[in-house]
Amino acid sequence: MKTKSFSKEKMWEVLYSDSFASIISALMTIILGMLAGLIILLVISPETAWGAFTNLLTGGLAVNGFRRGMGSILYYAVPIILTGLSIGFAYKTGEFNIGASGQYTMGAVTAIFVAVLGENVFGNCTWLVAIILGAVAGGVWALVAALLKVHRNINVVISGIMLNYVGIFVVNWIIKKSSVYEKSRNWTAEIPDVAVIPRLGLDHIFGNKPVNLGIIIAVAIAIVTYFVLKKTTFGYEMKACGLNQSAAKYAGINEKKTILKSLVIAGMFAGLGGALYYLAAQGTHHMVTDTIKQEGYTGISVALLGMLNPIGIIFTGLFIAYLQVGGLHMQSYGLEPEIVDVITAIIIFFCAFSFKLKQFYFKILNKIHGGAR
């Protein structure tokens, strides 16, 4: 009898904890977003809406079999988990790293260059050198914005937007002048075998989909980031800067150095994401067109939906990838894959109220519990 009441007490404790409330509010936003998406589908094409919607929910998992479907999801999740981490990490110091697209592009193209040109120099380590230099390139591109912020007080939103454009022009310019350019297809040359990231047998588990070390790296970095933010002085300094820069400064934190470091690390995450995506398999090419890469913006969605929590970002990255894979099969219903963006947008919109949703959750909880705890 006594143990029962104890476990009940424990249950209420969990139900009332902040992290549980966060998860519930995230689930609420997802359900609301899905419902809104369904309504829009019903309005646009009533006949195919149900079929399309169930297809979206089951995604690639049903169409290509579970293993292949999971493979696709993991493959698409790698770059957006990392750009999501990039945005989430910088956001902790209060900076909105909208320039992640540019950093991602820099990382991707640097990795492709190292892969194609460095095959003979680096041998079997080509992939490793390529992803490291890709991360460095992303960091360097973020450093530009960081220096402008710290020394010239230029808002990183504006420098990020500008550097996204400059970035895509710079890489395309260099590509067109180099031997990496494949003129007939207007894309970058094929990467050699030694540059493909080791599969570690994961591709066999996931039905020959390009799943590899990349997903392990992405998840590991997210976990490390979590601990850095939670348990280290640097993480504390970052959060202090994000909450109140002046207060952090008067508390003896070198706020400029902290912002600089956090932005460069965020850039490295994005750069690494680009490198891992473009070296995941042969047949992946960077198109030499002047369009800004979407993964950077998707990263914003991932970070926001994950409530800027690195562990949350792993799951939201997988979730958005799951929706994207589901969206790929939309065309068979005469619908554009953009329905995924609509749903994502609505989910993110509700994310903005996560605070209110938590309040709402506690209100209901109080009713069930019979008074506040």
Partner 1 sequence: MNIVYLIGQQTLYCMIPLLIVALGGLFSEKSGTLNIALEGVMMAGAFTGCMFIHFMQESGVIDGQGLLLISLVIAGITGMGISLLHAVASVTWQANQVISGFAINIFVPAITILLARATVGVLQVSFTNTFRVDAVPILSNIPVIGDLFFKRAYLTTLIGIIILVVSVIVLQRTKFGLRLQAVGEHPQAADSVGINVSKVRYLGIMICGFLCGIGGMAFIIPNTTEYAASVAGYGYLAYAILIFGQWKPKRIFVASIFFGLMKTLASIYSSIPFFVSLGIDSYLFKMIPYIATLLVLAFSSKNSFSQPAALGVPYDKGSR
- Contacting positions for partner 1 (CB under 8 A): 40, 44-45, 96, 148, 151-155, 157-159, 161-163, 165-166, 169-170, 172-173, 176, 290, 292, 297, 300-301, 304, 335-336, 338-342, 344-346, 348-349, 351-353, 355-356
Least distance to partner 1, CB of residue 141, Å: 13
Identify the three-state secondary structure at position 322: helix
Which residue, 50 or 173, is less far from partner 1 as judged by CB? 173
DSSP 84-141: HHHHHHHHHTT---TTHHHHHHHHHHHHHHHHHHSHHHHGGGHHHHHHHHHHHHHHHH
Least distance to partner 1, CB of residue 120, Å: 29
Least distance to partner 1, CB of residue 338, Å: 4
Which residue, 122 or 349, is less far from partner 1 as judged by CB? 349
Q: What share of the chain is helix, strand, coil (3-state, %, to 5)?
A: 75, 0, 20
Give the separation between CA 72 and CA 76, rounded to whole angstroms. Answer: 6
Least distance to partner 1, CB of residue 123, Å: 33
Tell me the angle at which helices 100-117 and 126-152 cross, rounded to the nearest 10 degrees: 150
Give the separation between CA 190 and CA 174, rounded to whole angstroms. Answer: 17
Which residue, 21 or 346, is less far from partner 1 as judged by CB? 346
Identify the three-state secondary structure at position 299: helix
Give the separation between CA 124 and CA 193, rounded to whole angstroms. Answer: 9
Which residue, 196 or 304, is less far from partner 1 as judged by CB? 304
Which residue, 106 or 217, is less far from partner 1 as judged by CB? 106
Phi, psi of 164 (to 5 degrees): -60, -45
Which residue, 129 or 157, is less far from partner 1 as judged by CB? 157
Cα 273 to its chain centre, rounded Å, is: 9
Least distance to partner 1, CB of residue 117, Å: 20
Least distance to partner 1, CB of residue 16, Å: 23
